[in-house]
Structure 1
């Protein structure tokens, strides 16, 4: 009997379009002889729309944008056994950004007691908030770039104080980021106080918490991590943006980057990258998958930038390419992720919820 898979995508997020692209690519790698694939589309307004099973891979993202009225706004009953059809066997969340990658949907699936691919509530929420992530990395002893963070209210009430703090503690250039967003949305580079003000105002469109990081001169190196309690790492890959930095446009629109896989690194440097990637994975209590992003300086100093708890599976995405070069083809990677989800779910079922 075919396993019933739910592809959960879209979402009330600035990364809605990225999620659709990921879902389209994912559909092309699923084995439709093994799986009955249900599209579950969340509109940008937050409505959930469960479609009929896909006949095969989709040819465009428009096919994934299920039209018409939602069955019921935000109704989750169709995921559960209802006498007419059994529950879905595994949910594959492909939601990037807030309201999907940040632990909210993961919490919903936990309450529903459904197996799902990828990281749980804690890892997803901590991995989404760059400030919390950095604080945990400090606990793990991971080397990272200096940073300053503040809230919208802090900025509105004491803008000059925070501008002074940035200039005192960091050196130009700096990168200004919304704390709770990915895919380089809302990120700007600033090389002066004037540019910093504009960059903060841009980032505040997307989040109430802002993190400002000191720029690093180094190669951008990424490592894929796969597993539950015993994670394994892929080969390393290098991102070479053909513009100022690896922004949203370069990632998802024009492919304006070069990816070098495997990255040319001394064996000792790669070994340290693997060790750091696993430390990051474990300190966040990750499960399933993570892409760990680093800077490597000319002196071979390793600086962790961040981890992505739900890396993209678009045609330009590094994560599946890293595993392909490690020997795990795209369809096999998805099989592995589904197996890890079921393994984690079955382990949770061993927990006792009643007192003796």
Structure 2
């Protein structure tokens, strides 16, 4: 059987650039080379797309604090509507071999917010992960929470502010409504970027300023005291949920560094030590949220489990990390699906969705 060409697009302009490099490395290392041929396209922090060689696409690959994209001398551009030359080399307009599927592993803004997914749709390329709508909705914590609340799913109480309302934000008013401590988050960021856990008035205004550094809209949420539980979801029309994992942070909260850089920043209990009844309920809510937010392919759904047994959904991540300490692949491994088989399944789901999309009519006269 002829190998399928898989374009792995990674890097990007977001604050999660280095996380994406780590995820790409793990995918490249684990992908089944008997089934797939890898084509690497790295996006640098300025937004240029580089055609990279598998032997030299990263610098300091084994050091999460120093890892960098090794910029190549060959940049590429995408050509929507040109099936025979979806990507061309900018130096000489030579076409790359046609890709069968794309695995976009660009975390954060312009990567998992629907932007990249929309461009791949225009190029008529199958791609791993949710489509444009789910990607953009799940990236916006405000919009996602509204849809989840409408579906009857418990989420933390919160207040939304936009940058032009910054002068109206008052610590005493917010604290009276949400209590302390509280979390201040950019509405459109992931991986704990720009998030602060605050208790005092001074911390509050510093946290507001920090969050607005990353987005024009912020969400201030009450602090839910509970265990941090995560569930991986996989599938298209009939998604399945993994066993549960628990984050046991060794720091104040599960920060960016704890997630992706410091292997000792948090302990991971996989599977989580929870009852069978609770496991089943969390899995049901994870699948419900996956469907409510129109996800396909994959998502990691994060929860808080209180001492009283209440379940609160924290967020849905549509392109979770694939680093060596990331929860999404680890949960599938403990659920019986190896890292390599997980990647194969995700690619097959992407191709299947693309084939189904092509069965839809695109003209009244067809």
TM bucket (normalised to shorter chain) is over 0.9
In the TM superposition, residue 177 of structure 1 has moved relative to its aligned partner by 0.7
Structure 1: 5+ residue runs without aligned partners?
A: none
Residue equivalent to 1:212:
220
In the TM superposition, residue 34 of structure 1 has moved relative to its aligned partner by 2.1
What is the RMSD computed on CA atoms of the aligned residues? 1.9
Deviations 1:254-275 (A, max 9, x none): 1211000111111211111011
Within 2, Cα distance between the matches of 1:60 and 1:24? Answer: 11
Within 1, Cα distance between the matches of 2:337 and 2:190? Answer: 25
In the TM superposition, residue 232 of structure 1 has moved relative to its aligned partner by 0.2
Deviations 1:309-329 (A, max 9, x none): 001000110000000000000
- The yes-or-no answer on 1:235 pairing with 2:243 is yes
8 Å CA contact 2:139–2:188 kept in 1: the answer is yes
Residue equivalent to 2:24:
23
Residue equivalent to 1:81:
84
Deviations 1:241-297 (A, max 9, x none): 011110011111112110001111112111110111011100110000010000001
Residue equivalent to 1:335:
344
Residue equivalent to 2:152:
141
8 Å CA contact 2:51–2:72 kept in 1: the answer is no
- The yes-or-no answer on 1:281 pairing with 2:290 is yes
Residue equivalent to 2:302:
293
Residue equivalent to 1:202:
210
Within 2, Cα distance between the matches of 1:98 and 1:194? Answer: 29
8 Å CA contact 2:21–2:68 kept in 1: the answer is no
- The yes-or-no answer on 1:258 pairing with 2:263 is no
Residue equivalent to 2:64:
none
Where 1:81 maps in the other structure, the secondary structure is helix
Match of 1:100 among 111, 117, 124: 111
Change beyond 3 A, Cα 1:84–1:59: closer
Residue equivalent to 2:229:
221
In the TM superposition, residue 185 of structure 1 has moved relative to its aligned partner by 0.8
Structure 2: 5+ residue runs without aligned partners?
A: 62-66, 86-93
Please report the TM-score for the alignment, with normalisation by the length of structure 2. 0.91
Within 2, Cα distance between the matches of 1:250 and 1:84? Answer: 41
Within 1, Cα distance between the matches of 2:79 and 2:301? Answer: 36
Deviations 1:203-261 (A, max 9, x none): 11111111111111100000000000100000000000011110011111112110001
In the TM superposition, residue 179 of structure 1 has moved relative to its aligned partner by 0.7
Within 2, Cα distance between the matches of 1:319 and 1:51? Answer: 26
Residue equivalent to 2:334:
325
Within 1, Cα distance between the matches of 2:95 and 2:117? Answer: 25
